[in-house]
Amino acid sequence: MKTILKIIIILLWIIIANVALFSQVPVIKFTYDASGNRTNRVITYEKKSLPPGNKLIYKDSLAEHDITIYPNPTKGLISIKITNMSKASSSSILLHDFFGKTIIKLEKLTEDNKVDLSNLPNASYFMKITIDDKTTEWKIIKQE
């Protein structure tokens, strides 16, 4: 009887662990004005569409620009697609580590941008995308 109870407990633990592992992770998005004031925060729990390789795609809008970032988590290369970049007068991507140190800085973005994190250690990074004085921030996870 004790063996059956142990098996049931182990099976329940496995099911709960899998549900927690594969459950949806909240996506938190912020929008800032030119003065640096946060004007919008959106927390989304909806299921995202998957590109080839079953990696999550994250989407956001910044004024008339739609931003798509994938894969996140990444093993190295992140794709950042931004629509209507011909209308933008200034744009940049800043990648910061946990301590706020700027790791990567890209300016004059195009509609299809790549950021290579393969030489960075596994960690969480913060990416700030600025287009025409409007900013959105993302948490990027680098893992093997």
Q: Along the 144 residues of the chain, how does pLDDT read in single tens digits?
A: 778 888 888 877 777 765 555 555 667 777 788 888 777 666 565 544 444 444 556 666 767 788 888 888 888 899 999 888 877 788 899 999 989 999 999 998 888 999 999 999 999 999 999 988 888 888 999 987
CATH of the domain at 49: 2.60.40.3080
Answer whether residue 86 is part of any domain.
Answer: yes
In a domain, 72, yes or no: yes
HEC assignment per residue over 72-114: CCECCEEEEEECCHHHCCCEEEEEECCCCCEEEEEECCCCEEE
How many domains does the chain divide into?
A: 1
Whole-model pTM: value is 0.61
Phi and psi angles of residue 91, each rounded to the nearest 5 degrees, phi first:
-160, 150
| pLDDT per residue as tens digits for the range 63-95 | 778 888 888 888 889 999 988 887 778 889 999
Range of the domain at 85: 26-142
